[in-house]
Amino acid sequence: MGNRGQKRADAIDEFPADKRTCSSLEFRASSSVSPMETTASTSTNQTHDHEMETSSSASGSGSARTDEDKDSAYGSCDSDEMGDTEHRRNRNAMLEYQRQRLSDDQVKFKRVLSVLSGEIEEPAQENALRELCEILSFCTDSSLSSLMANSLSPVLIKLAGHESNPEIMLLSIRALTYLCDTHSRSSSFIVRYNGIPVLCQRLLAIEYVDVAEQCLQALQKISREQPLACLQSGAIMAVLTYIDFFSTSIQRVALSTVVNICEKLPSEGFSPFMDAVPILCQLLQYEDNKLVEHVATCLIKIAERVHQSPEMLDELSKHGLIHQVAHLIDLNSKTTLSHSVDTGLIGLLVKLASGSMIAVRTLFDLNISSILKDILSTYDLSHGVPSPRAVGQNDQAHEVLKLLLQLLPVVARNHEVPLAEEKATFLENNPNFLQKFGNDLLHVLIQVVDSGVDLYICYGCLCVIDKLIYYINADTLLDLLKQANISRFLAGVFTRKDRHVIMLALTISDTILRKSNDAFVDPFVKEGVLFAIDALIVPEKGSNFMFTMFNDIQLSNESSRKQCLCYSFDNCKSSSASESLNCKMDNDSLQTLAKNIQTDYFNKNASTSANGTTDILEKLKSLSAGLASMITHSIPEEGYDHVLHQIMSHLNGPDIISTFEFVGSGITDALFNYLSSGECSRRISDGNGSNGQDCVAERRLKTFARLFWSNFSLSEFISKLQSGLSSVEDFPVVVNNVSKHRNSYATVPYRHCTTYPCMKVLFGKEDGELTLVDYSSDVQSVDPLSDFDAIEKFLWPKVCLESNKDDENGSVTSPNNVEPTSGESSRRNEFASDSMDHDQNTTEKDSSMSTEHPQSSQNDGHLSFFLEGKLIDRRSTLYQAVIRHHKAQYDTVTHAALWNQTHKVTYKKASKSEEISSQYFRCHARWSSALKKPLFSEIGSAVEKSTPCYNILFLLRILEAVNRFRYHITSYEKIHAFAQGRISDFDGVRVTGEGVLDISNNEFVNSRLTEKLEQQMRDPLAISTGGMPSWCSQLMASCAFLFSFEARCKYFRLTAFGKPQSQTRVSSGSSSTIQNDSTMPRKKFLVYRHQILESATKMMDLHAGQKVVLEVKYDEEVGTGLGPTLEFFTLVSNEFQKTGLGMWRGDSFLDSGLVGSPFGLFPGPWAPTVSVSNDIEFSEVKRKFLLLGQIVAKALHDGRVLDLPFSKAFYKLILGQELNLYDIQLFDPVLGKTLIEFQALIEQRKYLESVGKISADDLNLCFRDTKINELHLDFTLPGYPDYILASGPDKEMVNSANLEEYIELVVDATINSGISRQMDAFRSGFNQVFPIDNLQIFTDEELERLLCGESETWNSTQLSDLIKFDHGYTASSPPILHFLEIIQEFDYEQQKAFVKFVTGSPRLPLGGLASLNPKLTIVRKHCDKVVDADLPSVMTCANYLKLPPYSSKETMKEKLLYAITEGQGSFHLS
């Protein structure tokens, strides 16, 4: 072998210009380098170029801009001002050029072919081949005819087989490569003239490396069109035999050839590709991720081809394949594969385990259950693949369950399956394997089912549990089940309405009771398993019981599901085949097995009570009945304390109370009736209420809250409520199995095109309806997003007898010829033009309106609508109504049930609505409106009233509000304690953290509902059309605390901006970031550093209302993109904090400096009559607040971080919450504390007057031993002497008589009238970007995190894990160790300066350093001069720090501090 055959380094482009792997890379877009390499080689340039790209859609008009616009806006599309004549002339010239070039190319091809076909010297052949390569590099498909390609192929193949001249070999093979690129049929010509064996021979000879590399390039092209010919010619072994001789890039090319061949393996003969398995198994150990993915793909395809041959599966199981695959799918593996390949590898193990005992033994030896446990335990639906998972979809969880089912033998009650006996014998002889399997997986499988996954995954988990429990021995089973509450789990499974799932729950129960009868009979009774079994036998028992979780179980085979669950995990059945098979279950099998279990295990057990209940359940029932009786008989409020204490004593007592007992006892119903205070609303509506007396609702809520201030655990009670909610909730997750949006045509409510499917509906009048006529016997195509008001507008003229009579006298309107009003038309046209931009807020707003105005009725229109006989809520869309109807019958709603079936909707004339009293909100004036909402507002129509689900949601909402406003309630209580003399001095009125409930917000999060919302938000159709089930918006509006912060962040982006954000990342911790989606259009904007606010104003005036991402470039500075943009928002933040703006409390109106705000920024009050103060016009202040609203909204929209220290009270105002006296302490503790003490004096006087101890005239109030009138307070706002609160003879000085009025005026001026105009301006600016109401699903603390990011301190371990070290540095490099020590030594301000230096913003995004994107990267900076004299530099767009290798830690710290302090304010160190 000559020196050409030496193995080369891994550098891709180190070949000489004329000996590169494929020089076409220099000439043509379709190069012979693999697509992956092209992407890799250009990714760096694309990263930087992308920062300068803009979208034409965001640039507005294409017309010429004014000079002013040119100074500010970048990236607009250039307008085409060329005239039509010139355009035609240029086009004709281009066509003439193309014709001339085509003619020239054909002449050149003929000349070169003539030269190469003749007998000429080798130098002449080389020159001709070079010319041919150049022609092929530039020519198009039309330049090369099939005849010419057919003529060139044999000549080039002959030259490729040249025996001695490597240059001719290289050039001829290169020409063949270009030929395949240029002409689509060239591959078939090469095959016809036996070109593939020639290339394979050159590869196997491998005399010259560059020739061999060119052979690989050529084979890659040929294999795309002729994979079978390549296989038959031995190309797989040819490209793999000497693969180690090549660089990584060429190895990828070789493997892509094998992938192309394996994609279309023939149905007969194994040897051509099975011979390559040993080499492929070795290649799985390589470090290059892309190479390993290619190898994995080849092995996956081979396994699919041979999975029906046990001998071939045994052969595959050798050579270390299973070891390598197990290592790759392990979450701790350093090799990162794509999701599809990772899932495919699990599927490969499924096929091996289905037919090879060698594979089964090896997998158990490798402890595969531990690896699969990790995959399932981190199976987070928020980052998974869209559901539902049917057979044929390579979803990872689905494949994991298939593997688990293949590892365990089928149970004896099932049909014969290959290897079942061998597997059973193996596990009997190795019981430790089964025990380890159970210890690893049982808890995780239970957790997955409990999380509310879709029916297919639930069924798969239960199948694994069924097999595991069937084969494990009794003693091991008892130990295993002690670790998991299997009784509670099975009771939850029985709430599923699918008969297949219920059958598995019964078989698991039967197996457990058969093996350990004595240990599980009582738990089954306690957790409600026995009750569920009884409900299967006697359905009336479940429907009559207050615990409705076991109602409506489907006992027949009738289902709208597309595929029967019986076949959902069959390894060999195809999806189409399994759909046509009948269900394996008999109609009466459920009841038969239920009766057998009841007879065999419960009727014979003397300890089981006759009605299947427990003592604690009967006690709780008795207490709830007692409380209900007291409410009915209007017992005085003081009488409730005893029974409430009894209830809480049992709930917090030593006896364990199951979810079944807790909900089934009626405790939640009784507490709901107690707290919802029907008595209160009756007294007030009757006019018997008194403004001086607390209403019943307030007193009851305070009584209930005091229970948890004394002896009872609020956390434990919340936990019980959460468990109960997870058991009784039945909210549907509707995931449409529609891969692409298809255009449809709707005829109802009017004719229009839609970009989503329409529903088939048959309208007819309800039985017994005599005043209306039938509409039509034809099936209508109805827009699924139409609400029933719109449908009624369509139907009413056609079904009303009076209307029809009128039509007889006039023109008759065709049923399908109704046109929309102008408003409807414009809205629908906009909707149809871009379904992704559909305003999803429509549903949310309707839902929120229903909660805010409970007096609205679902019978407001002319018609009432029914779906299959059940009344439809008019506020829902047709889509939502169908979902709710099908979910009530089946546990899942499929594509077929929604779009393929015909839905029968009937109508009748509506009765007049009954108005509900609106007096609910007339409670005591001091009662916070924030606590009125959970007491009296509706939860939503998606939750049926008078059900355990509704009652539990009500109680959770009450407790969350009590927890959130705990300081308000405590302050209120202490003021009254002072008034009654239970507290003797003012210091006791002050609220401290002691004795105050402080429950984490996470305790109110329901994981099951969060999982369901995550699943629902992944449905592309529901997201794009706004067709998510109504419960999503209604619960988010009324009970947002039920969902995790991460889930609410995603929901916020969907509802506020209308599109899913592909780059919404969730960090490894518990935080998530809302970062901007790179697919959004971008707009450049030129900014002047000396005019930051002016630039910001101009930016917002132009782009606030546009859905574009703004990026900043500074005038006369290098750098643009993410870093400068983040710095811009930071600079704007600083500008808003400067003194002299008149915006904030504490503004000293000096010319320089920042507003002193130790407790956060809060708007400064302006008197309604004042227009100028301290030479500042109020109109300018309003403009500043409007700009601030725009900036805050745009920062949230674009995913930017602001450095604005708003007070918590200001965040509450942004969220639309009302402030009161107790909130003043959040931004002005001194004033707030004083006002609370004044209020305590007022309450003390009122109390003494009420008990008759003193009259109003006799009491002179004293504040800390000083009479009020001696405090010399006037009626001006404290701190604002120009703000006159009131005027008049009795309003000159504050005294005991007018102190209460003074307090009210100060509070009003501070948090209401004095700042209302500023807040109106802020909201107005905010709403220009997106509706501010979308933020109401967050708390004030969460909004601060969203807007201002994270403030975190770092330790060495965190930093080394979260920072990438590259290009000369590793985590153990001495300069890096010095750097990590220095960063930890920085104080808070220095850390902020460092973060700003590297990223452009002093605050990290939500999620902290872990969610920084791109990841913070530190590389070695190569210096031309002395290292210690150089400074660090950054690329803020890429979070890229270039750090010189300083000689000492001290020098590094000095240079870093200098750079992060002096380098701010420009991008000269970029």
Catalytic residues: 1437
Both tokens of residue 814? 């065709």
Closest CA to 1408 of 1350, 1342, 1343: 1350
Query: How far does CA 33 lie from the centroid of its chain?
Result: 37
Whether residue 1134 contacts residue 1179, with contact meaning beta carbons closer than 8 Å, is answered with no
Computed on alpha carbons and rounded to an integer, the radius of gyration of the chain in Å comes to 38
Q: Which two tokens stand for residue 503?
A: 């059958």
Nearest to 840 by CA among 1020, 1081, 1043, 1028: 1028
Q: How many CA atoms lie within 13 A of 90 on its CB side?
A: 6
Using CA atoms, how far apart are residues 1198 and 1347, in angstroms rounded to an integer? 11
User: Residue 1020: beta bridge partners?
Assistant: none
- Cα separation, 1110 vs 1118, in Å, equals 17
Residues 916/829, Cβ–Cβ less than 8 Å: no
How many Å apart are CA 1114 and CA 66, to the nearest integer?
20
* Chain position carrying tokens 């007070």: 1207
Q: Which residues pair with 866 in a beta bridge?
A: 871, 906
Residue 630 phi, psi dihedral angles, 5° rounding: -65, -40
Q: Is residue 1109 helix, strand or coil?
A: strand
Task: Confirm if 1192 and 1213 have CB atoms less than 8 A apart.
Answer: no
Phi, psi of 999 (to 5 degrees): -95, 135
Which structure tokens are listed for 464?
Answer: 């694994």
* Count of H-run helices and E-run strands, the chain: 64, 21
Cα–Cα distance measured from residue 1016 to residue 1286, given in angstroms and rounded to the nearest whole number: 55
The span from the CA of 830 to the CA of 845, in Å, is 19
Coil vs helix vs strand at 906: strand
The dihedral region occupied by 421, where left means phi > 0, alpha psi between -120 and 50, and beta the remainder, is alpha
Residues 292 and 325: beta-carbon distance below 8 Å: no
| Cβ neighbours of 799 (radius 10 Å) | 26
Looking at 1090-1177, list the stretches that DSSP marks H as alpha helix, in order from N- to C-terminal side: 1092-1103, 1122-1136
- Identify the DSSP state of 18: T
Task: Please report how many Cα atoms fall inside a 13 Å half-sphere around the Cα of residue 122, on the Cβ side.
Answer: 11
Q: How far apart are CA 1398 and CA 1373, in angstroms?
A: 20
- In this structure, what DSSP letter does residue 1405 have? P
Place of tokens 């340039």: 45
Task: Dig out the tokens for 896 from the structure.
Answer: 């077929």
User: How far is residue 149's CA from residue 191's CA, in Å, rounded to a whole number?
Assistant: 13
Q: What residue spans of 486-552 are helical by DSSP H?
A: 486-493, 499-515, 517-527, 529-537, 539-544
DSSP assignment of 670-696: HHHHHHHTHHHHHHHHTT---TTS--H
Distance CA 464, CA 443 (A): 12
Residue recorded with tokens 């008999």: 586
- Within the chain, what is the greatest distance between any pair of CA atoms? 131
Examine residue 388 and say whether the peptide bond preceding it is cis (omega within 30 degrees of 0). yes
Of all helices (H) and strands (E), which one includes residue 1267?
strand 1266-1267
Dihedral, CA atoms, 955, 961, 967, 972, nearest 10 degrees? -70
